[in-house]
Amino acid sequence: MINNTGAGAVSGTFSGQPEGSTITATYNGDTFTFRVSYTGGTGNDVTLTRIPGAGQIASGQVTTFAGSTDGNVNGTGTAAKFSSYLYGLTVDSSDNVYVVDNGNAVVRKISSGGLVTDVSPTSGYLADYHRITVDGAGNLFVSDTMQNCVRKFAPNGTMTQIASGLLRSPAGLVVDRLGNLHVADAGNARILTFNSAGTLVNTRNNLNWYFPVGLALDAAGDLAYMVDAGNAQVWDLKTNALLAGATNNFRPASLPSNPSSLDTLSAKSTPSDGTNTTARFYCPLDIVMGKDGNLYVTDSYYPGGMNPSSQHLIRKVTTNGVVTTLTGGTSGNTDGPLGIARFNNPVSIGVDSSGNLLLTDRVNTRVRKVGLAGDSLGCVPILTLGSAVAGSSGVTVSGTVNPNGFITTTRFDFGTSATNLNRSATLTLSPNNDTSAQNVSALLTNLVNLSTYYYRLQTSIS
């Protein structure tokens, strides 16, 4: 195995390793196992996917892709700063990310390496930018909810206004494989389609829609899915049918004059997983189809128009309508494995060429990456849950974990009930020298004698 510690690329040949075979490599006394794949690339490329070791499971990882505190600073990664009015997001074919930084009145570009710069032609027109998309030629389309239009910014800096006089509170945008622009005309509860010349060519109406805000293409590049924030639903546009969410229709007889605030939204439910109409959303804001063929939805609250939700989630929806919660929970700002990551008002979502998700985390003024593939897919130890009775000097709890080549932070969360683990004891483990799990333990003190305490071993890679 090649250990490349330099900045340049290395090349070599894999011999006698068929598709799907495994290879092992030793580094710093630890053994790693990888699965071989030749799919994708030019046909001469190889992808090595790490297989979890003993006591480990594969896990997605949430990281901060760009941004830190509230501000207006260009830079790389966390050196950059965005405003707390960070709304729309889209990803182009080269994995550049574009975000609507409404508070700084500009669209920002984030390279695949995390470098943040201003898209300068967009800085002179802002009224209330909301969502954004990009076509194959590099044209940016931004919905302006105050001027009720879509602004098209060509790569040469030219701005063209589309759909003036037709829209009310426009939100989500996508460009399909034929170059047609689809706009969620939220305030009019409809979807409009414009050809590449900017001419209206189709209008979709449905009396069961209240406030459509996010649109998604299918794997073929055709308009296929929509999220309705007003009714807290996901719709399949190919069949014109409700895919997931309660069978609500809170649309009033006359649409309100200022629908963008959603002050009278009645669809708010406690988010819960389920299938089709048994699933519940609080307020789905955006939707994208992942490289795995599943849909991913930001489920939080409409900025400026609703009481903040207690849950800030990324939901996974299969094309058959099975809804599960991928990551998130109560408001917070935590990177790490999917089970512990936290957000605060995730608004817009996109996907890169590897299948990783990118999203705007508005209140945290960050762009977050949900790593679901390739190098962004990590390995974390299996969580364990147990209970113990405290003695006069406390109680020692134990578990097993496999650092498997990583400096690992291990935390015992504990409390008086399995659903209220509100205290913790933290350990830091050095990389072990083999693939076996190792025992860890912690003495929990300041406990009530003879009381039962519940604990969970939770671990993350440092």
- The whole-angstrom separation of Cα 427 and Cα 439 is 12
284 CB-near residues (< 8 Å, 6+ apart)? 213, 214, 227, 228, 229, 232, 233, 234, 245, 297, 298, 299, 315
pLDDT, residue 1, reads 45
pLDDT, residue 387, reads 82
Mean pLDDT for 40-58 is 56
- The whole-angstrom separation of Cα 444 and Cα 455 is 10
Q: Is the pLDDT of residue 208 over 80?
A: yes
pLDDT band at 3 (very low <50, low <70, confident <90, very high): low
pLDDT band at 328 (very low <50, low <70, confident <90, very high): very high
Of the candidate ranges 67-81, 123-137, 168-182, 263-277, the one whose mean pLDDT is the lowest: 263-277
Please check whether residue 218 is in contact with residue 199, taking contact to mean a CB–CB distance below 8 angstroms.
Answer: no
Q: Is the pLDDT of residue 297 over 60?
A: yes
For 222-273, the pLDDT digits (tens) are 999 999 998 999 999 999 999 999 998 888 888 876 655 554 454 568 899 9
For 58-83, the pLDDT digits (tens) are 557 888 999 999 999 999 999 999 99
Q: Residue 87, class by beta-carbon neighbours within 10 Å (0-12 exposed, 13-18 middle, 19+ buried)?
A: buried
pLDDT, residue 462, reads 44
For 353-383, the pLDDT digits (tens) are 988 999 999 999 999 999 886 555 555 544 5
Mean pLDDT for 184-207 is 96
Please check whether residue 423 is in contact with residue 414, taking contact to mean a CB–CB distance below 8 angstroms.
Answer: yes
Q: Is the pLDDT of residue 105 over 50?
A: yes
Angle subtended at Cα 371 by Cα 142 and Cα 78, rounded to the nearest 5 degrees: 65
Q: Is the pLDDT of residue 289 over 90?
A: yes
Mean pLDDT for 335-362 is 92
pLDDT, residue 212, reads 94
pLDDT band at 324 (very low <50, low <70, confident <90, very high): very high
Mean pLDDT for 212-224 is 97
Average pLDDT of the chain is 84
pLDDT band at 148 (very low <50, low <70, confident <90, very high): very high
Q: Residue 75, class by beta-carbon neighbours within 10 Å (0-12 exposed, 13-18 middle, 19+ buried)?
A: middle
Sequence letter at residue 363: V
pLDDT, residue 320, reads 96
Of the candidate ranges 73-87, 376-390, 434-448, the one whose mean pLDDT is the lowest: 376-390
CA atoms within 13 A on the CB side of 80: 27
Distance, CA of 251 to chain centre: 28
Sequence letter at residue 227: V
- The whole-angstrom separation of Cα 102 and Cα 99 is 9
- The whole-angstrom separation of Cα 101 and Cα 83 is 6
- The whole-angstrom separation of Cα 369 and Cα 392 is 46
- The whole-angstrom separation of Cα 328 and Cα 25 is 34
Total number of residues shown for the chain: 462
Mean pLDDT for 154-181 is 94
